[in-house]
Amino acid sequence: MKKKTRAFLKWAGGKYGLIEQIQERLPEGNKLVEPFVGAGSVFLNTDFDKYLLNDVNPDLIDLYKIVKSRPKTFVKDAKTLFVQSNNCKDAFYGLRSEFNQTTDPYYRSLLFLYLNRHGFNGLCRYNLSGGFNVPFGSYIKPYFPEEEIFKFSEKSKKAKFVCQDYSKVFARARKGNVIYCDPPYAPLTETANFTSYATGGFDANAQAKLAKLAERTAFKRDIPVLVSNHDTVLTRKLYDEAEQSFVKVARSISQNGKKRDKVSEIFALYNNKALEKK
């Protein structure tokens, strides 16, 4: 069995642990389109000829473009931030402040990796003013993902990175492509929120809009779409036109990240071929 490739970013809701289940469900195609690429675990562990990878977070996409085009320079410069003197609250909050003040894409990318590895639980969160506000993580020695960065860069030769609204990325897909959607998840409880990944949120209306777009794309344009989400009453209803399947996954379900439990995940496959079987 081929060894799985890890993403170089820590990522809340990352798909590394579900790679085999996703691989089983993804239809064949000449290009994989990901409107919500996140850390890129699905991209790294599939073998399509080409990839169109999108995220609404410009910091993430700028980072990926830089890693693709100049990995050696990036690794050399990023390493200078991963020193013991930067692994404390004062240094972290100072560098976080620099990140929030600078507009230079390259420097922001270096700081983004530092914040990702030194911040709490690999969260990527911004306040309503667009400021990165994840607290210090208090790790003994944050890992510098050099090998993972170079692997990502090599695989990126097949990829185009864009930062658009997901609906525009759907519009760019063509027959023969496959779309995989890993949107900000529907909350398991009414008190949970949708704002962890980027400002702007992703509420129940946005979830419904995505489901309808996936349905139209598959059944009217003949482009298969696989969507993953929390298994809830809402998502089962939203994805009622899709072929649904379910897996149990271990997830942290408390704010301190210590309590882990099995939660159910839904996979919804919109595919003309799947429709014929129903």
Per residue in 102-143, pLDDT (tens digit) is 999 999 999 999 999 999 998 999 998 999 999 999 999 999
203 is in an annotated binding site: no
pLDDT of residue 187: 82
* pLDDT reported for residue 190: 55
Question: What's the average model confidence in pLDDT over 218-247?
Answer: 97
Q: Let me know whether 188 and 131 are in one domain.
A: no
CATH number of the CATH domain containing 107: 1.10.1020.10
Domain boundary pick from 109, 124, 148? 148
Same domain for 241 and 271? yes
53 neighbors 182 (Cβ within 8 angstroms): no
86 and 176 share a domain?
no
Contact 71, 63 (CB under 8 A): no
Q: How confident is the model at residue 200 (pLDDT cuts 50, 70, 90)?
A: low
- Domain assignment of residue 4, yes or no: no
In a domain, residue 8? The reply is: no
Structural domain boundaries enclosing 102: 65-148
- CA dihedral of residues 190, 244, 239, 42 (deg, nearest 10): 80
Asked whether residue 77 is marked as a ligand-binding residue, the answer is no
Of 97, 47, 99, 269, which is closest to residue 179 (Cα–Cα)? 269
In a domain, 2, yes or no: no
Are 136 and 173 within one domain? no
* 11 is known to lie in a ligand binding site: yes
Does one domain contain both 138 and 195?
Answer: no
Give the model's pLDDT for residue 18: 94
CA distance linking residue 2 with residue 9, whole number of Å: 21
Per the structure, the count of domains in the chain is 2
Q: Would you say the C-alpha torsion 226, 232, 235, 236 has a positive or negative sign? A: positive
pLDDT at 199 over 80: no
Question: In the prediction, which pLDDT does 35 show?
Answer: 98
Mean pLDDT of 14-29: 95
- Domain of 50, CATH number, reads 3.40.50.150
- End-of-domain residue from the set 114, 148, 182: 148
Does a structural domain hold residue 3?
A: no
Does residue 9 form part of some domain?
no
Mean pLDDT rounded to a whole number for the chain: 91
State the pLDDT at residue 250.
Answer: 76
